[in-house]
Amino acid sequence: MDIEQVGVIGAGQMGNGIAHVFASAGYHVRLNDVSADALAAAQALIAKNMDRQVAKGTMTAENRDAALGRISTTLDLGELGQSDLIIEAATEKEDVKNEIFKALQPHLKPETILTSNTSSISITRLASRTDRPEKFMGFHFMNPVPVMQLVELIRGIATDEETFKTCHAVVERLGKTSATAEDFPAFIVNRILMPMINEAIYTLYEGVGSVTSIDTSLKLGANHPMGPLELADFIGLDTCLSIMNVLHDGLADTKYRPCPLLTKYVEAGWLGRKTKRGFYDYRGETPVPTR
């Protein structure tokens, strides 16, 4: 199946990045959100990020203008129905995703492929609530989408070969690399990454090290570009907690128990960079550890 028209649901951190890379690769993109302000902010951020690419010489001004011209926005979810491929990138809550796919269903072409950018939720279960489980799969981009090379492709139990091959070809056209993951909680990247972050939070919780010492140790001792607590703030502590809960519930193993300190930060609304406070306080010129 040839993919030309792509719908993206959710104009947040992931959705705007997904729209960016698809438009840059020549696809016509319709970006949907429930908030007009979010759509306007996404368009402004995409333009800013493309301007940065032009300044670095990785994109021409002509290609930037053409790519921006291929992005349209809508508050009406039904307008995405005629897309060849739809990527849901809404909040990491299964009931929200199910409601989105339910609302989309009456508007879809028979051949439209549905995908979710979920980082942890069962693709098989999401697909089962739609009218096309064979044309449904996980399409998990890494953050920030324009920079990160990997896309996880996750088949549900009913996903057919044509759908997989089509999505695999899309990843290649985007100039990215795919890794195929089986449909188990958190797939590959987050199955490995989140327990590491959770263990770093336990290390802080138990007083083994401070925020600074933990992040410095992993950056200099393991050659990580960001420390685990800094990375948690970048991802969003609510997202980290959600994924740990999916792992804990889905695999029934105590090694995935979310650290109580992570829960406490989320309860406080200290979710990281997006709320200006997490394991670091971002309200000043320089981030300051909060513990």
178 is in an annotated binding site: no
Q: Indicate if 161 belongs to the active site.
A: no
14 is in an annotated binding site: yes
CB 69 within 8 A of CB 26: no
CB 10 within 8 A of CB 101: no
Q: Indicate if 88 belongs to the active site.
A: no
2 is in an annotated binding site: no
Separation of alpha carbons 96 and 236, rounded Å: 18
**Other Cβ atoms closer than 10 A to 158:** 17
Q: Indicate if 24 belongs to the active site.
A: no
33 is in an annotated binding site: yes
Q: Indicate if 122 belongs to the active site.
A: no
**Other Cβ atoms closer than 10 A to 143:** 16
Choosing from 120, 152, 178, 230, the catalytic residue is 152
143 is in an annotated binding site: yes
**Other Cβ atoms closer than 10 A to 32:** 28
183 is in an annotated binding site: no
32 is in an annotated binding site: no
7 is in an annotated binding site: no
CA 54, 57, 58, 64 dihedral sign is positive
Q: Identify any residues that bridge with 116 across adjacent strands, giving them in sequence order.
A: 88, 138
227 is in an annotated binding site: no
119 is in an annotated binding site: yes
Choosing from 24, 49, 122, 190, the catalytic residue is 190
Separation of alpha carbons 93 and 90, rounded Å: 8
- CA–CA distances in Å: residue 28 to residues 143, 199, 201, 243: 22, 42, 42, 31
Choosing from 16, 20, 120, 140, the catalytic residue is 140
Choosing from 24, 119, 120, 178, the catalytic residue is 119
CB 180 within 8 A of CB 153: yes
In the chain, count H helices and then E strands.
11, 10
Which residue positions form the known binding site for NAD(+)? 10-15, 33, 92, 97, 119, 143, 274
Q: Which residues are catalytic?
A: 119, 140, 152, 190
Which residue positions form the known binding site? 10-15, 33, 92, 97, 119, 143, 274
